Amino acid sequence: MPQRLAIFDTKPYDEESFREANDTYGFELTFFEPRLSKETAILAAGFEAICLFVHDLVNAELADTLYHHGVRLLALRSNGYNHIDLAATKDRLKVVRVPRYTPYAVAEFTVGLMLSLNRKLHLAYSRTKANNFSLVGLQGFDMHGKTVGIIGSGLIGSIVAKLLHGFGMRVLVYDHRVNNDLIKEIDCFYTDLDTLFRESHIVSLHCPLTHETHHLINAATIRKMRPGALLINTSRGGLIHTHDLIDALKSKHIAGAALDVYEEEERFFFEDLSHSFIDDDTLARLMTFPNVMVSAHQAFFTKEALQEIAHTTLSNTKKFFDKTPLENEVK
C-alpha cells in the first residue's frame, strides 16, 4: 500500500515542487488548497501524515481533532514552528520541520529590500510607468561606509552580513551565540543591542520569534535607534510592535521600513485580495506610507528553496513511516 501524505494550504507552485521531488519517494500525495483550520480538519481524516505551512495554525483544540482523525505526523514545510502548539502535540503528534534550505533565498531578498527601500526603487518604478521622470523625493544614501546592525547571525543573518560587508558596510551583530565561522570570514563586530540600535543606519532582523524576541522592536527600543534608520524584517512579523513602528514612521524617527512579514499576516498573505479591501486598519495604515514596502512573505520563494523544502519534507515523512530516527523532529 503506498504511503500517503496530505498537503494543506497548497498553491500550484507547491504542487509542482512536491510532485517533482516525489519521483524519488513515491508517496501518494493529496493536495488540499484550504488552510488547516477547525473547519477543514476533517480533510485530514484517514491520513497518518499531513504537511502544513506557516499559516496552518495548530492550537490545542486542533491538535486534539487531528489526533482523533488518526493523524500522527505534522510535517512542516517551513523552518519556523511558532504556529504549532508544541505542548498540545507532545507525546501524540510528531512534528518535523525543514531546519534549513537555501538561506541565500531569504538573504538575497533581504538585501534587495534594503536597496529598494533606500534608493526608492518601488516609487521610481511606478513613477516612470506613469511618465513621471522627476527625481524629487527619490534620494537615497550610499550604503558603502554606513553601519548595518544584524540581529541574529544564524544561517540567513550571517549571509546578509557577508553580502553587506561586500558593499563596504560596517557590520554590527547581536546574537546570544557568536558565529565563529562568520568572524573568520569577515570583519564584523558582535555588540550589545543598545550599541547596535544606536549606531546602525539599517537594522535587519534575522532571529526567530520566541517569547524573548516577541516585540523586540517596540517604542522603547525604537527610541534607542539612530534617527533616520531603516528597518528591515524578513523574519517574523511578531518581532515588531506594529503600532509603535507606525508612530515612529509618523514622527520620522524611522525613515523607512521594508517588511516581508507582518504580525497578522495569516489573513492576507499568499492570497489575491485585489477584488476586496483590507479590514485590518494597522496593515492598511502601514501601506499608506510611501517609505514602507510590504511583500507577502516572499523572501523564501525561489526555485531552489521550493525544491529543497519539498525534498526535506518528503524525506522527513519517509523516515516517520519507515520508523527510522527523525533528525528534523521539533521537540
- The catalytic residues are 236, 265, 297
217 contributes a contact to ligand NAD by CB under 6 A: no
CA distance linking residue 251 with residue 247, whole number of Å: 6
79 contributes a contact to ligand NAD by CB under 6 A: yes
Interacting span for ligand NAD (CB under 6 A) from 20-28, 122-130, 293-301, 312-320? 293-301
Show the site string, 251-290: x = touches ligand NAD by CB under 6 A, - = not: ---------xx-----------------------------
The β-bridge partners of 204 are 150, 232
Interacting span for ligand NAD (CB under 6 A) from 15-23, 60-68, 170-178, 196-204? 170-178
3-state secondary structure of 256: strand
The β-bridge partners of 29 are 5
Residue of 15, 64, 175, 280 interacting with ligand NAD (CB under 6 A): 175
Interacting span for ligand NAD (CB under 6 A) from 18-26, 66-74, 206-214, 224-232? 206-214
Q: Which is nearer to ligand NAD, 64 or 266 (CB)?
A: 266
Chain centroid offset of residue 96 CA:
18
50 contributes a contact to ligand NAD by CB under 6 A: no
**Number of helices and strands (H, E) in the chain?**
12, 12
Q: What are phi and psi of 31, to 5 degrees?
A: -105, 125
CB-CB contact of 150 with 160 (8 Å): yes
154 contributes a contact to ligand NAD by CB under 6 A: yes
102 contributes a contact to ligand NAD by CB under 6 A: no
What beta strand segments (E) does the chain contain? 4-7, 28-31, 49-52, 73-76, 94-96, 147-151, 170-174, 188-190, 202-205, 229-233, 254-259, 292-294
114 contributes a contact to ligand NAD by CB under 6 A: no
Interacting span for ligand NAD (CB under 6 A) from 112-120, 175-183, 269-277, 313-321? 175-183
Q: How far is the CB of 257 from ligand NAD (least distance, A)?
A: 15
CA distance linking residue 286 with residue 132, whole number of Å: 24
Long-range Cβ contact pairs of 219-223 (< 8 A, separation 24 or more): 219/244, 219/247, 219/248, 221/193, 221/197, 222/248, 222/253, 222/254, 223/253
Residue of 149, 157, 238, 256 interacting with ligand NAD (CB under 6 A): 157
221 contributes a contact to ligand NAD by CB under 6 A: no
Residue of 208, 253, 278, 294 interacting with ligand NAD (CB under 6 A): 208
Rounded-to-10 torsion of CA 305, 311, 315, 321:
110
DSSP state of 35: P
Residue of 98, 300, 312, 318 interacting with ligand NAD (CB under 6 A): 300
Q: How far is the CB of 105 from ligand NAD (least distance, A)?
A: 7
Closest to 262 (Cα-Cα) out of 282, 276, 289 = 282
Residues at the contact surface with ligand NAD, assessed by CB under 6 A: 79-80, 103, 106, 151-157, 174-177, 206-209, 212-213, 234-236, 260-261, 297, 299-300
